[in-house]
Amino acid sequence: MPSPLLRELIDALRILPGVGPKSAQRMALTLLERQRPGGLRLARALEQALHHVEHCSICRNLTEQAICDICSNSSREQNLLCVVESPMDVIALEQSGSYRGRYFVLLGRLSPLDGIGPNELGLPALIERLRATPEIEELIIATNPSVEGEATAHYLREATRGLPLMVTRLAQGVPVGGELEYLGGSTLTHALSGRRPV
């Protein structure tokens, strides 16, 4: 039976996504047996982040400043706004190096069963931003292709219908290097409906 402090550490580690009891136990024991300096560094970094990282007042991404580096960067393309579900999506798009516009982070997706509606996602603020910023010419909806992500994309298309901007959706379908025989029916349906001339 682990000591009370060890048990508390194991339980604390289990709040992380994908970390079950065995993984949490292994992490806790590694930190205590072989990585105490790393564990202290982790504790300090976690405490600092929890105290100082907030949401950007413009795009809702995570930052230590009132306005994040992306929103304050005047060299970013002002005419593009990409709507994503989470800060992890911003990181993924930035790492790709293929997008140089601005963002709006929903911090979730529509899910009425879980009590997540348009207000919880900040959609009224997004619509107001689009109305107040005539430089934005294209709204790129980059929600995940899940049921909730598709519902969110549909809501955004309808909510922006009267605005003078082009609304686009990220292409979906066959991944680079993918083989058709291993793809599911819905993936192939999306790929066929989103085909383009070559």
Q: What is the pLDDT of residues 57-93, one digit of tens each?
A: 999 999 999 999 999 999 999 999 999 999 999 999 9
Contact between residue 132 and residue 75 where contact means Cβ atoms under 8 Å apart: no
What is each CA distance from 99 to 2, 65, 90, 174, in whole angstroms?
49, 22, 10, 20
CATH number at residue 123: 3.40.1360.10
In a domain, 173, yes or no: yes
Write out the H or E segment, with its range, that includes residue 103.
Answer: strand 102-105
In a domain, 198, yes or no: no
State whether 91 and 167 are in the same domain: yes
d(CA 75, CA 104): 17
In a domain, 66, yes or no: no
Report the amino acid identity of residue 126: L
Residue with tokens 């292409």: 171
State whether 124 and 173 are in the same domain: yes
CATH number at residue 36: 1.10.8.420
State whether 43 and 80 are in the same domain: no
Total structural domains in the chain?
A: 2
What is residue 177's predicted lDDT score, i.e. its pLDDT?
75
User: What is the pLDDT confidence band of residue 193, given thresholds at 50, 70 and 90?
Assistant: confident
What is each CA distance from 198 to 75, 192, 195, in whole angstroms?
32, 14, 9
In a domain, 43, yes or no: yes
State whether 78 and 48 are in the same domain: no
Residue 198 has pLDDT above 60, yes or no: no
**Four-residue CA torsion sign, 175, 179, 183, 185:** positive
State whether 15 and 85 are in the same domain: no
**pTM (two decimals):** 0.84
In a domain, 84, yes or no: yes
State whether 91 and 132 are in the same domain: yes
What is residue 159's predicted lDDT score, i.e. its pLDDT?
94
Domain that holds residue 133: 73-177+186-191
In a domain, 168, yes or no: yes
